[in-house]
């Protein structure tokens, strides 16, 4: 991680299928994400030089630190794909061994790895031989309740040369509404010699602090918490005050959270729209992709029903700025100037966090069980672009 210039407790944006294109990555990086990733790519599609996959892998010139994530059917396939990625302008490469989507798992990719530890060992070993770039792996804690094998998997990954590991604290069989297993993340962190990042249900600075305190993780990866909320990254203040080396433990002052004003909300959407239009045009897939972002941006604002209806009906992006301006004018007239907490946590963070834990220490879902990626992932079987694995 030090070779990438990351802080002592990095906060990074996850590679989100169908989301992490460069307009969204640039917004998150602008707000403070130290590292962002291209969305998960299929090794099969990359080896066949799929046009769609190569488009997904493009790096914008403004991106300072960028990683890429790959998944594949076999160790050899992943390694050959990484040889290609090694020649491309990425700073770090991650292997996905945790994606739960049926389309991905059926071919042995994503969470399919978790049922074959020897294949995990071979994959990481060959991947390590294929690149000198920082190499990481993202996993879940097991396939189902009868096969929680996170420690065995972690041992295989670190023994074969990965530089760090990200643990999503759920099983493959879990849904997003199921709690995150912090004790198992802690067990992996205590076991590993390499850095361990935590992932799952991080919707605020308080969530990240609690995960760090309970598990000792070396950093966190934010996924759904960034959807419609790139400002989440600005909540984090990195480094120990007075420690110019940045080698001390990271601190997160209680005062670092700041609400999103309606003016900056509007400007962020306009910036996102501009970058989206420059990359994809005003119509077609670019507009369809932007629609979900706009619906996520509308979350947390009172009186947004009409705006959501307009977004759902739009066929191009040209009419969006006027719709956003009308909404802002109405909100200001009604005295609404700041966004409500997106995840519906209580104002009392301590009581909110307590309500999200069971006696087992598992990290519960948000108060509203807000699940913005359900349609894209499990229900619609969304993963690794539109390519067949």
Catalytic residue numbers, as ranges? 99
Q: Would you call 222 helix, strand, or coil by DSSP? A: strand
Cα–Cα distance for residue pair 129/324, rounded to 1 Å? 50
Cβ(290)–Cβ(352) under 8 Å? no
What are the tokens at 62? 């403004």
Residue found under tokens 């963070």: 349
Order of strands across the sheet with 66-71? 11-13, 219-222, 196-199, 164-171, 135-142, 92-97, 66-71, 36-42
Cα–Cα distance for residue pair 278/375, rounded to 1 Å? 27
Q: Is the dihedral of CA 38, 15, 130, 51 positive or negative?
A: negative
Pairing type for strands 196-199 and 11-13 reads: unpaired
Residue 284: DSSP 8-state: T
CA 198 → CA 253, 271, 281, distances in Å?
A: 20, 30, 36
Q: Would you call 171 helix, strand, or coil by DSSP? A: strand
Q: Is the dihedral of CA 54, 56, 57, 59 positive or negative?
A: positive
What counts of helices (H) and strands (E) characterise the chain? 14, 10
Cα–Cα distance for residue pair 10/197, rounded to 1 Å? 9
Cα–Cα distance for residue pair 279/388, rounded to 1 Å? 24
Cα–Cα distance for residue pair 320/89, rounded to 1 Å? 33
């Amino acid at each position: 991680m030090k070779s990438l210039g990351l802080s002592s407790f990095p906060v990074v944006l996850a590679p989100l299928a169908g989301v992490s294109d460069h307009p969204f990555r640039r917004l998150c990086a602008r707000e403070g994400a130290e590292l962002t990733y291209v969305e998960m790519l299929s090794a099969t599609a990359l080896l066949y030089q799929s046009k769609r996959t190569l488009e997904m892998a493009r790096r914008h010139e403004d991106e300072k630190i960028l990683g890429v994530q790959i998944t594949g059917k076999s160790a050899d396939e992943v390694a050959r794909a990484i040889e290609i990625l090694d020649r491309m302008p990425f700073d770090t490469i991650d292997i996905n061994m945790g994606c739960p989507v049926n389309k991905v798992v059926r071919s042995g990719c994503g969470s399919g790895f978790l049922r074959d530890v020897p294949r995990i060992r071979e994959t990481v070993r060959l991947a390590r031989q294929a690149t000198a770039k920082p190499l990481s792996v993202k996993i879940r804690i097991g396939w189902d309740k009868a096969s929680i094998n996170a420690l065995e998997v972690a041992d295989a990954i670190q023994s074969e040369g990965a530089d760090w590991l990200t643990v999503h604290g759920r099983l493959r069989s879990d849904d997003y509404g199921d709690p995150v297993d912090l004790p198992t993340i802690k067990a992996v962190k205590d076991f590993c010699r390499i850095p361990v990042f935590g992932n799952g249900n991080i919707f605020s600075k308080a969530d990240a602090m609690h995960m760090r305190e309970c598990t000792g993780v070396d950093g966190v990866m934010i996924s759904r918490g960034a959807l419609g909320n790139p400002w989440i990254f600005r909540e984090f203040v990195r480094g120990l005050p007075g420690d110019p080396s940045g080698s001390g433990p990271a601190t997160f002052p209680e005062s670092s959270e700041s609400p999103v004003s309606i003016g900056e909300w509007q400007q962020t959407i306009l910036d996102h729209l501009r970058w989206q239009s420059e990359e994809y045009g005003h119509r077609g897939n670019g507009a369809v992709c932007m629609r979900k972002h706009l619906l996520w941006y509308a979350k947390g604002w009172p009186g947004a029903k009409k705006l959501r209806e307009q977004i759902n009906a739009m066929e191009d992006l040209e009419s969006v700025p006027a719709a956003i301006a009308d909404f802002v004018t109405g909100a200001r007239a009604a005295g609404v100037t700041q966004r409500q907490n997106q995840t519906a946590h209580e104002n009392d963070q301590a009581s909110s966090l307590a309500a999200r834990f069971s006696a087992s220490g598992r990290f519960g879902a948000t108060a509203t069980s807000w699940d913005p990626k359900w349609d894209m992932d499990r229900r619609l079987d969304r993963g690794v672009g539109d390519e067949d694995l």
